[in-house]
């Protein structure tokens, strides 16, 4: 039997941090806990991440990259793409250990808008808003930014609802509510 390859140290640190941050909350997790979980030393940890905030930013950027990669597989049809996003969010809320959106969670723990962690959150949310606005624009929305804002508000509420209530309701409810928003803004989608 071949030995299991050892992951690079930076990757191990990020993996340990990501699991702990998501499960326990960012501020509740110490650097020492991450160092122990990653099986490294303080010197090595701080060589890769001079501050815990640098690690939190890297964690959020990694989460954003994972979502961006998944978005690269969306259907070409904008209506189907928006439906796929809603379905993916519903699926996400039903997975074991779901604790809400990592970006909303991080924003709640770092209230200062100019903090580097909040800037990382804003960077992801700006990208996501641009994606949703582009899809809404392709559907014919007159004000795709407004449609994106409304759909993202629904998404944010769905993420919180999936954490504090019944996650099984999120997917279908998000699709229905999103459809109602689209019907308000896109003439071709209005019911007969």
What is the rounded average pLDDT of the residues 108-129? 97
The pLDDT of residue 172 is above 90 = no
Give CA–CA dist 99/24, Å, rounded: 9
- pTM given for the model: 0.90
Of the pLDDT bands very low, low, confident and very high (cuts 50, 70, 90), residue 6 is low
State the chain's mean pLDDT as an integer. Answer: 92
Give CA–CA dist 13/40, Å, rounded: 8
Closest CA to 119 of 131, 134, 130, 106: 106
pLDDT number for residue 91: 85
* CATH number assigned to the domain with residue range 52-189, chosen from the 4 options 2.60.120.10, 2.40.10.340, 1.10.357.10, 2.60.40.60: 1.10.357.10
> Considering only 93-102, 114-123, 152-161, which range has the smallest mean pLDDT?
93-102
Which of 25 and 190 is assigned the larger pLDDT? Answer: 25
pLDDT number for residue 190: 60
CATH superfamily of 1-50: Homeodomain-like (1.10.10.60)
In contact, 78 and 148? CB cutoff 8 Å: no
Which residue's entry shows tokens 């759909």?
Answer: 151
Closest CA to 35 of 58, 54, 9: 9
The pLDDT of residue 55 is above 60 = yes
The pLDDT of residue 142 is above 90 = yes
What is the rounded average pLDDT of the residues 129-142? 96
- Residue spans per domain, the chain: 1-50, 52-189
For 72-104, how does the pLDDT look when each residue is reduced to its tens digit (9 = 90+)? 999 999 999 999 998 888 888 888 888 999 999
């Amino acid at each position: 039997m071949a030995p299991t390859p050892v992951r690079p140290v930076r990757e191990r640190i990020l993996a340990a941090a990501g699991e702990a941050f998501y499960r326990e909350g960012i501020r509740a997790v110490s650097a020492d806990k991450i160092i122990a979980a990653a099986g490294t030393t303080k010197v090595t940890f701080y060589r890769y991440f001079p501050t815990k905030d640098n690690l939190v930013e890297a964690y959020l950027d990694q989460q954003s990259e994972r979502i961006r990669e998944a978005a690269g597989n969306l259907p070409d049809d904008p209506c189907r793409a928006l439906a796929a996003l809603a379905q993916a969010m519903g699926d996400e809320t039903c997975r074991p250990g779901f604790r809400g959106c990592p970006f909303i969670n991080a924003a709640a723990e770092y209230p200062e808008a100019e903090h580097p962690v909040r800037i990382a959150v804003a960077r992801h949310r700006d990208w996501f808003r641009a994606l949703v606005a582009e899809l809404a624009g392709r559907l014919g929305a007159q004000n795709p930014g407004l449609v994106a804002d409304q759909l993202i508000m629904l998404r944010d509420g769905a993420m919180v609802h999936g954490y504090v209530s019944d996650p099984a309701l999120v997917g279908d409810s998000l699709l229905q509510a999103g459809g109602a928003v689209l019907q308000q803004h896109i003439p071709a989608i209005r019911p007969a």
